[in-house]
Structures are given as C-alpha cells and as structure tokens.
C-alpha cells in the first residue's frame, strides 16, 4: 500500500534529491492503514527432509498493483485510465479534474 499511495523519491530538474529524509518522504502510519486480519497455514513441502520452504516478501508483491487497480477502477468512471504510482492525493485529484 505504501508504494502504491505514498512513497516517492522526488528529484529536482538539476538532479538533486528533494526527498532526503522522512520529513520529505511520505510513509503511511498505522492511522492510514485499513484493519488487517491475519491467518496462517502449515503446508510442509515434500521436497526436503525438514519440510521447510523459503521465505521472503513474495507474499507482498501483489499488494501494490492491487491497491493501484482499485483506485484506477474508481477513476475509470471519470474517464481516467492511467495515473503513475504513487497515487498521491494530488495526482489523483489532478487526474480527476483534468477529465
């Protein structure tokens, strides 16, 4: 969700980064996040003696595109078909106003 809606590195025309600290770089806090319900399953792999699998961030790969697509579905009713990530409030507002 953060990458889809907030996180952006801003660079000025001279190539100087403008988002150099957390004061300039927007990140969501718990207040901006929807409630999350977690669950777990245990499915051992038959491919090794321990039954263990690798772990990483693969489960989060689809979150950004899912959030982006949800916003774009809403904007499609206004004739907006593309907005670059992150979908900041300003970008969404401008896209909606320009249609």
pLDDT on residue 55 = 75
| Residues 20-45, mean pLDDT to the nearest whole number | 84
Q: Of 23 and 92, which is predicted with more confidence?
A: 92
The Cα–Cα gap between 85 and 83 comes to 7
Task: Tell me which H or E stretch contains 89.
Answer: helix 89-97
pTM for this predicted structure: 0.68
Q: Which two tokens stand for residue 51?
A: 């039954």
- pLDDT above 70: percentage of residues in the chain: 97
pLDDT, greater one: 2 or 94: 94
Tell me, what's the pLDDT at 80?
Answer: 95
Tokens at residue 58, please?
């693969």
- Across the strands, what pairs with 71? none
């Amino acid at each position: 969700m953060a990458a889809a809606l907030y996180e952006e590195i801003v660079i000025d025309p001279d190539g100087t980064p403008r988002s150099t600290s957390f004061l300039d770089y927007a990140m969501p806090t718990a207040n901006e996040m929807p409630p999350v319900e977690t669950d777990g399953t245990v499915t051992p792999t038959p491919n090794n003696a321990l039954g263990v699998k690798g772990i990483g961030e693969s489960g989060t790969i689809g979150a950004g595109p899912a959030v982006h697509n949800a916003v774009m579905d809403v904007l499609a009713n206004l004739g907006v078909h593309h907005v670059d990530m992150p979908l900041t409030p300003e970008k969404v507002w401008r896209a909606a106003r320009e249609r």
